[in-house]
Chain A
């Protein structure tokens, strides 16, 4: 178990360091490429997948 922990611990530390450096979080989001430039003039032309959340 010591050997396992000697490997597991540094892996966890490395993941933590990477996550801290990149500002990791649980938040779910979608990355969309090449959205139209005209959004700034007409925000209604773009609908994200998170629009009109089905609730209540």
Chain B
């Protein structure tokens, strides 16, 4: 024991409770607490669903929510939680629903209250949570149907007629059974801007996506929150930052590759070291021949052997060996030249080519000659050209392709995430989805 004792861990539940007014439900005599002080207008009894007008000193019954299904809020009424802008108490819970193409979609809304800060909302749909505050700033509507809110463009996501289907707790307006309003949602992840329109008014509110873990921590919940399904309307893309970093890297790598290619183009010898013409005769006798000796200089680099034959509807095969006269090393290779042409019902056609090119890699410097052994079905003339250290584009293009694989994959993942996001909106993306596992 060091005498200092265990540090006291502050818990929200041990914080002093705010003063509450207590009354009895005039319908079922359930004891009810009013936490929203003078701000509360309507109280819905959690026991019998009776809607009580507590702004009237006689505590008048103004209706009842007769729901066959009782929804249990994921966060119990009366729970207090520390959120970004203060300590709030959950005083009301409601379920709202929209119908789209005959299918009903429901979500939950939690009303929070702080006597100094006022009201906030938490909304939850398919395990995706938003922390919402009413906005007094009216966004500017753009020509394309989107809105601009304080310099940020929010894209229209969905418009639907929302209906209250279940309600319990306190509210600062007169809750009515079947109360409806048009809801227009605009998104700029992680934010969502909602306009709730009735005959009398338009209310704008700004929400920010909040991770379920933050809710659990803020309210110190013991029960797990509903699992997330799909992609939330304003859920920040986990791939967005990654995509930006990968693109930056890709640009840097491509720039380096391009510099290497430019250097190669500038410094390569690209030198013609040998050229000659020969003729091939069919019949008996040795066909093979050797060329004069030519010199290859510089570092070990490529040797390009170009062969051209004057053939028509025929072929010529050249079995070749590039022989180092200094040390007796031979590089054996074979090339076939074939060229055919004609006409048919589709018109003129050609196939093959009268010329060919072989690229021998990494040939050391030295004195070389070519041994050529031609083979063909008709006599023909052919010529050979040999180049040393020729710059080539194929490795560069292969490098570019390889460097684009990872950004391409990252783009597909990011695109799939956005595809899933917008699939539940009024503006689904029409391009096919990449089958990835990006539900979260």
Q: Which residues does A use to contact B, with CB under 8 Å?
A: 1-2, 4-6, 8-10, 12-13, 15-17, 19-37, 39-40, 43-44, 46-53, 55-56
Q: How far is the CB of B329 from chain A (nearest CB, A)?
A: 6
Q: Are B249's CB and A48's CB within 8 A?
A: no
Q: How far is the CB of B313 from chain A (nearest CB, A)?
A: 12
Closest to A15 in B: B399
Q: Are A48's CB and B361's CB within 8 A?
A: no
Q: Select which of A12, A44, A48, A53 is within 8 A of B253 by beta carbon.
A: A12
Query: Do most interface residues of chain B lie in helix, strand or loop, or is the interface mixed?
Result: mixed
Q: Are A13's CB and B399's CB within 8 A?
A: yes
Q: Tell me, yes or no, whether B183 is within 8 Å of chain A by CB.
A: no
Q: Are A5's CB and B288's CB within 8 A?
A: no
Q: Which 9 A-B pairs have the closest CB atoms?
A: A23-B302, A50-B334, A25-B359, A48-B332, A23-B301, A51-B319, A43-B288, A16-B399, A29-B333
Which of B194-202, B217-225, B254-262 faces chain A? B254-262
Q: How far is the CB of A28 from chain B (nearest CB, A)?
A: 7
Indicate the size class of the contact surface on chain B: 35 or more
19 additional contacts (CB under 8 A) given A25-B394, A34-B329, A47-B373: A2-B245, A5-B250, A8-B406, A12-B399, A20-B264, A23-B300, A24-B362, A31-B331, A32-B329, A32-B331, A33-B328, A35-B321, A35-B328, A40-B290, A43-B373, A48-B334, A48-B373, A50-B333, A51-B334
**CB proximity to A under 8 Å, residues B294-348:** 299-303, 315, 317, 319-321, 323, 325, 328-334, 336
Q: Are A35's CB and B323's CB within 8 A?
A: yes
A19 to B406, CA, bound (A): 21
Q: Tell me, yes or no, whether B286 is within 8 Å of chain A by CB.
A: yes
Q: Select which of B303, B317, B371, B394 is within 8 A of A39 by beta carbon.
A: B371
Q: How far is the CB of A27 from chain B (nearest CB, A)?
A: 5
Q: Are B330's CB and A35's CB within 8 A?
A: yes
Q: Are A5's CB and B260's CB within 8 A?
A: no
Closest to B332 in A: A48
Q: How far is the CB of B402 from chain A (nearest CB, A)?
A: 5
Q: Are A46's CB and B321's CB within 8 A?
A: yes
What residues of chain A lie closer than 8 Å to B392, measured between beta carbons?
23, 25
A30 to B334, CA, bound (A): 10
Q: How far is the CB of A16 from chain B (nearest CB, A)?
A: 4
A19 to B301, CA, bound (A): 9
Q: Tell me, yes or no, whether B410 is within 8 Å of chain A by CB.
A: yes
Q: Are B334's CB and A4's CB within 8 A?
A: no
The verdict on A53 contacting B329 (CB below 8 Å), with A25-B392, A29-B360 known, is no
Q: Tell me, yes or no, whether B71 is within 8 Å of chain A by CB.
A: no
Closest to B363 in A: A23
Q: Tell me, yes or no, whether B173 is within 8 Å of chain A by CB.
A: no
A4 to B405, CA, bound (A): 12
Q: Tell me, yes or no, whether B369 is within 8 Å of chain A by CB.
A: yes
Closest to A23 in B: B302
Q: Select which of B319, B325, B361, B406 is within 8 A of A1 by beta carbon.
A: B406
Q: Are A27's CB and B246's CB within 8 A?
A: no
Q: Are B406's CB and A44's CB within 8 A?
A: no
Q: Are B323's CB and A39's CB within 8 A?
A: yes
What residues of chain A lie closer than 8 Å to B105, measured between beta carbons?
none
Residues 387-423 of chain B: 1 if any A CB is under 8 Å from the residue's CB, otherwise 0?
Answer: 0011010111011001100110110000000000000
A17 to B264, CA, bound (A): 9
What residues of chain A lie closer than 8 Å to B288, measured between beta carbons?
43-44, 46
Q: Are A20's CB and B319's CB within 8 A?
A: no
A28 to B377, CA, bound (A): 25
Q: Tell me, yes or no, whether B424 is within 8 Å of chain A by CB.
A: no
Q: Are B403's CB and A9's CB within 8 A?
A: yes
A24 to B396, CA, bound (A): 11
Q: Are A12's CB and B402's CB within 8 A?
A: yes
A2 to B248, CA, bound (A): 10
Q: Select which of B317, B329, B389, B394 is within 8 A of A35 by beta carbon.
A: B329
Q: Are B246's CB and A25's CB within 8 A?
A: no
Q: How far is the CB of A8 from chain B (nearest CB, A)?
A: 6
